[in-house]
Structure formats: structure tokens, C-alpha cells
Chains A and B, each alone.
Chain A
């Protein structure tokens, strides 16, 4: 009986992974601006979710749990790396999988340059489709602050896309 429960839980988790992994990856990628780091963080978050699946599986928003965990792990990894090798927040060379070569490196650079709170608002409000109230709850900030961060982020991103459009049109 216990074995059957274990099998059912694993099937549930595998279904969750298959259905939500890509959405979570894109959200975390928007949050960290680094393709390989995002993959590592999401894999780590899903591993932790599997270890605590009886709890995470009942979470009202397991997808948000994954992304929140991945971003928290990122902070601890970054701190550890900074202690170990003394690097600043240098841009890493990415190992982009085949089929994703069209990933816009300039957009990733722009995302990396956004303040952390603005990136987090984009992650939850835009990539996870949470409404303003839910985003505010996840991030522990006021709804008005969510709106303000999103507005500032859009202003910065709009500048990037306008430049891209001008480059495409040419002189």
C-alpha cells in the first residue's frame, strides 16, 4: 500500500515537472538572465520539490514555489561563489543548447541590468501570469509597488526594443 502511494506521488510529480518545467525555466531565466544558470537553478528547485512533494504538491501555487525557491537558491549560490573565488557579478559565457541559438543576448543583458525587484516582478507578474495582488503577496510588497516596478521595467525594456527595431530597419 505504501509502495503504491509512493508510485502515485512520483507520477504526480513527474506530470508536474513535464507540464511546468519550461514555464518555470523561462521565468527564472528572466530573473537571472543566464541560460545555463537558470537551468541549474530550476533543476535544483524541482529536486527540492520532489524531496518535499507531499507538502509542495498541496501548495496552492507549486509553480510559484519552484520559481521562488530557484531564485532563493541563486542568492545562496552567488554568495558562496563570491566567497570561494572572489568574483563580482560577472557575466558568464553561456552554454546555449542547440535550437535556442536565437535567444537574444542583448535582451538577457538588459534583464540582468534591471534592479532585482523589477526582475522579480517581471518573473511572477509576466512569466507566471500572477495578478498584481498575488505578485505582491509572493514578494511581500505592496500592490502599488508591484505596479511601479513593472512600469519602470517596461520603460527600460521599451528602450531595448526600440533600438532593436531601429537596427532592423537600418539607416
Chain B
């Protein structure tokens, strides 16, 4: 089981902070979320940054990144800070 954490407007969209799910890859997480929250959410996911245990999947294997039990997958829309 992995823990998927949602942040910023992604939270508002889904009404969830955290979702536990079975997933072997990041792609599985995406499929699961899209089937729960629909096409509009899919559009938001396209520009979202995905971290696995704090690391950007762009430095791992992208959506093919394999997940292990206990991993945390964090999803952020494009943010501004200061």
C-alpha cells in the first residue's frame, strides 16, 4: 500500500488530503485517481509535480517509477512561493 498525499488546489478538487491505495507504479496511482475523480482531474494532473518520498519523478523513472509498500507519493500543482 502506498500513501498518496494531495496538496493545494488538488485537495480542494478531491476533498481529500491523503488516500491509501495499492499501486505498483506512479502510472497506477494516476489511473486510480482519474477513475475516481474524472477527466477534469486528469487535466490538473497533467501539470502536477509528483514526488516519491520527496524525490521528483523526473529524476526517477517518470510515471513508470516503481513503488514499494510504505512509499509516499505527493502531488502538487504548479506553485508560487516567496
Do A and B interact?
no
